Structure 1
Amino acid sequence: MLKTRLFTPGPVPVPDRVRLAMAQPIIHHRAADFIPVFQECRVGLQRIFQTEAPVLIFAASGTGAMDAAVSNLLSPGDHALVVRGGKFGERWAEICEAYGVRVTCLDVEWGQGADPAEVEKALAAQPDIKAVYVQASETSTAACHPVREIAEIVRADGDRLMVVDAITAVGVYDLPMDDWGLDVVVSGSQKAFMMPPGLAFMGLSERAQRFMETASAPHYYFDLAKELKNLPTDQTSWTPAVSLLLGLREALTMILDEVGLEATWARTEALAHATRESMRAIGLDLLAPDSPSPACTAVMVPDGVEGPKLRAHLRDRLGYTLADGQGKLKGRIFRLAHLGYFDRFDTIGCIAAIEMALAATGYVHEVGLGARTATELLRD
Structure 2
Amino acid sequence: MLKKYLLAPGPTMVPERVLLDMAMPVIHHRTSEFSKIFSEAREKLKKVFGTKEDVLILASSGTAAMEAAVVNTLSVGDKVLVVNAGKFGLRWKEIATTFGLDVVSIDLEWGRSVTPYQIEEKLIEHPDIKAVLMQASETSTTVYHPVEEIAKIVSLRENMLLIVDGITSVGVVETKMDEWGVDIIVSGSQKAFMLPPGLSFIAMSKKAWKMAESSNIPKYYLNLKKELKSQQKDTTAWTPAVNLIIGLNTALGMMLDEGLENVYKRHAICAEATREAMKALGFELLAKNIPSNAATGIILPEDFDGGKFVKYMREDIGVTFAGGQDHLKGKIIRISHLGYHDIFDTIVAVSALELGFKKFGLDIEFGRGVGACQEVILKSIR
Partner of 1:243: 243
Q: Which amino acid aligns with 1:233?
A: K
Q: Which amino acid aligns with 1:247?
A: G
Deviation at 1:68, TM superposition (A): 0.2
Q: Which amino acid aligns with 1:162?
A: L
- 1:247-303 Cα shifts (integer Å, max 9, x gaps): 0010011001x2110100000000000000000001011100421000000011124
Q: Which amino acid aligns with 2:265?
A: A
Q: Distance in 2 between matches of 1:102 and 1:74?
A: 11
Pair 1:16 & 2:13 matched: no
Partner of 2:36: 36
SS of equivalent residue, structure 2 residue 285: coil
SS of equivalent residue, structure 2 residue 253: helix
Q: Distance in 1 between matches of 2:231 and 2:294?
A: 31
Pair 1:81 & 2:81 matched: yes
Q: Distance in 2 between matches of 1:290 and 1:99?
A: 32
Deviation at 1:52, TM superposition (A): 0.3
Pair 1:173 & 2:173 matched: yes
Query: What is the number of residues matched between the two proteins?
Result: 379
Q: Equivalent pairs: percent with the same residue?
A: 49
Partner of 2:232: 232
Pair 1:98 & 2:98 matched: yes
Contact 1:304 1:362 survives alignment (8 Å): no
Deviation at 1:127, TM superposition (A): 1.0
Deviation at 1:310, TM superposition (A): 1.7
Contact 2:113 2:288 survives alignment (8 Å): no
Partner of 1:339: 338
SS of equivalent residue, structure 1 residue 192: coil
Q: Distance in 2 between matches of 1:45 and 1:99?
A: 29
Q: Which amino acid aligns with 1:156?
A: L
Q: Which amino acid aligns with 1:313?
A: Y
Contact 2:18 2:251 survives alignment (8 Å): yes
Q: Distance in 1 between matches of 2:11 and 2:308?
A: 22
Partner of 2:373: 374
Q: Which amino acid aligns with 1:248?
A: L
Q: Distance in 1 between matches of 2:272 and 2:162?
A: 29
Q: Which amino acid aligns with 2:25?
A: P
Partner of 1:62: 62
Deviation at 1:158, TM superposition (A): 4.1
Q: Distance in 1 between matches of 2:116 and 2:277?
A: 31
Q: Distance in 2 between matches of 1:69 and 1:48?
A: 19
Partner of 2:362: 363
Moved over 3 A (4+): none
After superposition, where does 1:179-194 map in structure 2 within 5 Å? 179-194=179-194
Q: Which amino acid aligns with 2:284?
A: D
Q: Distance in 2 between matches of 1:308 and 1:90?
A: 22
For structure 1, the 5+ residue unaligned runs are none
Deviation at 1:217, TM superposition (A): 0.3
Deviation at 1:136, TM superposition (A): 0.2
After superposition, where does 1:173-322 map in structure 2 within 5 Å? 173-256=173-256, 258-322=257-321
Contact 1:309 1:361 survives alignment (8 Å): no
Q: Distance in 2 between matches of 1:35 and 1:316?
A: 42
Q: Distance in 2 between matches of 1:86 and 1:374?
A: 27
Partner of 2:116: 116
Q: Which amino acid aligns with 2:79?
A: H
Contact 1:76 1:217 survives alignment (8 Å): yes
Contact 1:305 1:362 survives alignment (8 Å): no
SS of equivalent residue, structure 2 residue 266: helix
| Root mean square deviation of aligned Cα | 1.0
Contact 1:92 1:133 survives alignment (8 Å): yes
Pair 1:46 & 2:49 matched: no
Q: Distance in 2 between matches of 1:7 and 1:278?
A: 16
Q: Distance in 1 between matches of 2:148 and 2:168?
A: 16
For structure 2, the 5+ residue unaligned runs are none
Deviation at 1:234, TM superposition (A): 0.7
Q: Distance in 2 between matches of 1:7 and 1:131?
A: 34
TM-score w.r.t. structure 2 length?
0.98
TM-score w.r.t. structure 1 length?
0.98
Q: Distance in 1 between matches of 2:76 and 2:289?
A: 37
